[in-house]
Structure 1
Amino acid sequence: MPRLPDKRRAILRGALTVFAREGYTRASIDQIAREAGVSTRTIYNHVADKAALFGAVIDESATRVAESQIEAMEKHLGGEVTDLREALVGFAQEHAVPGDREHFALVRQIAAEVGHIPAEAVESWQDTGPRRVQQALEAHLARFMAEGRLRAANPSRAARHLVLLSAGEVTSRSFHGAIPLPAAEVEQIARDGVDVFLRAYAPPH
């Protein structure tokens, strides 16, 4: 990601902290200004209103987290994969554990307040974050299908199945990382989910 000017970075960082803690509805520009160490006038010099600031925060945060998740995905699934099961388990374990607690605290707030958050901000978050990661995973699974290591199927649906089976349980039980599960339990859930996925998408003999 390109480096942001210091003042704007401070505003976005402070806003992320406040939105993650208070949610969209309860957060105020005054609170964000105090957290960021700037004046409210400075914030309004950068954004028109709270809705615009929230949109900027979720875009920046989702982009940063998506880049981290895609990098982890490439580590496990990119290049030559000799053991597909272990590669998928490694990806699933890393994907299931939130690496940025503040971002996922914000995700929990979005889930709780989605009816009160500007729809365009939610849609933009989906595009810059979850959908971008989903598309990267689809590309890897499509490659494994083309290589005959998975049966030919819809890569988009397969990507959703893999994430739901191997990371979805961790996400739901930990409330997006609010109550972390033991590492051994995360690994077992990932392995069980990957095994179910591989049985469902086994290539024909």
Structure 2
Amino acid sequence: MTGENDTPTAPRRGLSEKRQAITRAARTVFGRDGYSRAGIDAIAAEAGVSTRTIYNHFAGKELLFRTVVQESTGQVGNAQLEVIDRHLAKVTDLESDLVALGLAWVGSLTAFSDHFALVRQINAEAAHLPKDLLEAWQAAGPRRAVVELGCRFGGLADRGLLDAPDPERAAQHFVLLVGSEITQRSYWGAFPLAPAETEELVTTGVRAFLRAYAARPAH
């Protein structure tokens, strides 16, 4: 095993593992304490490394926070894109497929609980965080997923299944109708709702979405 005083000549694998341990620990600490209150000492203790090791990998707390936000958001964003593809690649029953999509979408709150703990802190401290960091977070995750969902809704509109002149706006509405009440009532997944309650909220959200966007039969 290598010690905490490794120099830059240590094996690449060892450095990579330490970096991963640091970012995992930082995500936990930032998600628990927020950016302002989180300290490098606490992150080092969580990671099982020295503070010097952290500074060997990251110039300071802000860079570490930016890295954690970007990497965590990218991971969740990739999972959301996979969910979209899985449920909308071949639509056979529009309402059922959208309900399945909605359930998988809100399921990310518990599947990635450490990430959404971080999101809670970002929202709480937004006024004190650099705007470019907030924009990068949105671009790497929420906005990217909505753009992809909008593209899929555009395809459903081309098939005559949806009436969505602005597919990306329709995607925004879908996310709000399906997920916003669950997000608020669970406090971004901190207190998950019962499965039956979640399914009811998703189903009613999908039906509201379809009342607005389902294509009407031609007369």
TM-score by length of 2: 0.88
Q: Distance in 1 between matches of 2:121 and 2:26?
A: 13
Q: Partner residue of 2:53?
A: 42
Given that 1:96 and 1:168 are in contact with CA atoms closer than 8 Å, whether structure 2 keeps it comes out as no
The structure 2 residue matched to 1:141, chosen from 153, 156, 160, is 153
Q: Distance in 1 between matches of 2:67 and 2:53?
A: 15
Note closer, same or farther for the CA distance 1:61–1:129 as it changes in structure 2 (3 Å cut).
Answer: same
User: Residue 40 of structure 1: CA displacement?
Assistant: 1.3
Q: Partner residue of 1:77?
A: 88
Given that 1:21 and 1:105 are in contact with CA atoms closer than 8 Å, whether structure 2 keeps it comes out as yes
Residue identity over aligned pairs, in percent, reads 50
The structure 2 residue matched to 1:10, chosen from 12, 21, 35, is 21
Are residue 173 (structure 1) and residue 182 (structure 2) matched? no
Aligned partner of residue 125 in structure 2, secondary structure: helix
* RMSD between aligned residues: 1.4
Given that 1:11 and 1:33 are in contact with CA atoms closer than 8 Å, whether structure 2 keeps it comes out as yes
Given that 1:54 and 1:121 are in contact with CA atoms closer than 8 Å, whether structure 2 keeps it comes out as no
| 1:111-126 pair list within 5 angstroms | 111-126=123-138
Q: Which amino acid aligns with 2:29?
A: V
Q: Which amino acid aligns with 1:88?
A: L
Q: Which amino acid aligns with 1:159?
A: A
Q: Partner residue of 1:130?
A: 142
Report Cα offsets for 1:157-196 as digits up to 9, x if no partner: 1001111111111111111111111111111111111111
User: Residue 119 of structure 1: CA displacement?
Assistant: 2.2
Are residue 62 (structure 1) and residue 73 (structure 2) matched? yes
Given that 1:59 and 1:128 are in contact with CA atoms closer than 8 Å, whether structure 2 keeps it comes out as yes
Q: Distance in 1 between matches of 2:54 and 2:137?
A: 21
Higher relative contact order (CA 8 A, sep 6+): 1
User: Residue 51 of structure 1: CA displacement?
Assistant: 0.8
Q: Partner residue of 2:34?
A: 23
Are residue 158 (structure 1) and residue 170 (structure 2) matched? yes
Q: Which amino acid aligns with 1:131?
A: R
Q: Partner residue of 2:101?
A: 91
Given that 1:69 and 1:95 are in contact with CA atoms closer than 8 Å, whether structure 2 keeps it comes out as yes
Q: Partner residue of 2:203?
A: 191
Report Cα offsets for 1:28-48 as digits up to 9, x if no partner: 111111111111111112111
Aligned residues: 202
Structure 1 spans left out of the alignment, 5+ residues: none
Aligned partner of residue 5 in structure 1, secondary structure: helix
Q: Partner residue of 2:4?
A: none
Given that 2:146 and 2:171 are in contact with CA atoms closer than 8 Å, whether structure 1 keeps it comes out as yes
User: Residue 62 of structure 1: CA displacement?
Assistant: 0.5
Given that 2:160 and 2:215 are in contact with CA atoms closer than 8 Å, whether structure 1 keeps it comes out as yes
Q: Distance in 1 between matches of 2:44 and 2:17?
A: 14
User: Residue 155 of structure 1: CA displacement?
Assistant: 1.0
Q: Distance in 1 between matches of 2:23 and 2:141?
A: 17
Large movers: runs of 4+ above 3 Å: none
Q: Which has the larger radius of gyration?
A: 2
Note closer, same or farther for the CA distance 1:102–1:152 as it changes in structure 2 (3 Å cut).
Answer: closer
User: Residue 118 of structure 1: CA displacement?
Assistant: 2.4
